[in-house]
């Protein structure tokens, strides 16, 4: 999963980023609302974590603009405001959930998982395709009942492909979802992860097809 964190407290932002990256997620960080707008317009995110009090504006301005653009990316508000009226106003503006500061990181992660499940429309997270069963939340891949061990980015790459079998993914699109803006990595890294994933999928009914000049596609059968 790829997250956008909008938070001006450097210590808190570092802690959240480190925890999310440890869990295998890609996360971009904006400390100002103008940077957040730039990330939101150019990036493709599964979830946004939004602080309200920012040095150059109010996070609610970002939330209003985000929803006005008909974007359905879930938003969890990180707020120090404990008044019920404040929380209700943010939910009315389009927030999917909120966490009151200070919070436990386990609680934040649980709320992220719950919001993502709601967006998917079901509590069941396992995708089954042919002889493959994949659960991105548990980080579990099985082929004919045999558990296959994948690294974090291999898991995230498979998640993208298996959720849209038959869809062509350009290399730059995969790169944007697997790496954050501040990572010094070439797009050619995608070829490495595609190669690794192909080896893992050899015993399965799935194959990753390269379409020269277009990208990659997961095929079944």
Read off the pLDDT band of 218 (50, 70, 90): very high
- Rg of the chain (C-alpha set): 18
Reported as a single tens digit per residue, the pLDDT across 59-102 is 889 999 988 887 889 999 998 866 677 778 888 888 999 888 88
Residue-range domain boundaries for the chain: 2-120, 127-220
Over range 172-190, report the average pLDDT: 87
Residue 32: its pLDDT value, please? Answer: 95
Taking the model in full, what pTM does it have? 0.71
Q: Which fold has domain 127-220?
A: Arc Repressor Mutant, subunit A (1.10.10)
Residue 136 and residue 138: Cα distance in Å, rounded?
6
**Residue linked to tokens 């909120």:** 98
Q: Count H helices, E strands: the chain?
A: 8, 14
The CATH H-level superfamily of 2-120 is Response regulator (3.40.50.2300)
């Amino acid at each position: 999963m790829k997250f956008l964190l909008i938070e001006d407290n450097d210590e808190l932002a570092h802690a959240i980023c480190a925890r999310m990256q440890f869990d295998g997620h890609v996360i971009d960080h904006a400390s100002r609302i103008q940077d957040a707008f730039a990330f939101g317009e150019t990036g493709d995110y599964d979830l946004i974590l939004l602080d309200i009090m920012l040095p150059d504006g109010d996070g609610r301005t970002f939330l209003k603009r985000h929803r006005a653009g008909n974007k359905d990316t879930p938003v969890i508000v990180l707020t120090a405001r404990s008044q019920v009226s404040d929380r209700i106003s943010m939910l009315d503006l389009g927030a999917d959930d909120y966490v009151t500061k200070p919070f436990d990181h386990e609680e934040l992660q649980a709320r992220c998982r719950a919001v993502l499940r709601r967006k998917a429309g079901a509590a069941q997270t396992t995708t089954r395709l042919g002889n493959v069963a994949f659960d991105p939340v548990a980080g579990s891949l099985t082929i004919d009942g045999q558990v296959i061990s994948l690294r974090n980015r291999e898991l995230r790459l498979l998640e993208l492909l298996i959720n849209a079998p038959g869809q062509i993914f350009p290399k730059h699109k995969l790169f944007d979802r697997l790496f954050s803006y501040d990572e010094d990595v070439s797009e050619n890294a995608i070829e490495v992860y595609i190669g690794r994933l192909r080896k893992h999928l050899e015993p399965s009914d799935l194959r990753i097809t390269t379409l020269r000049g277009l990208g990659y596609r997961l095929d079944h059968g």
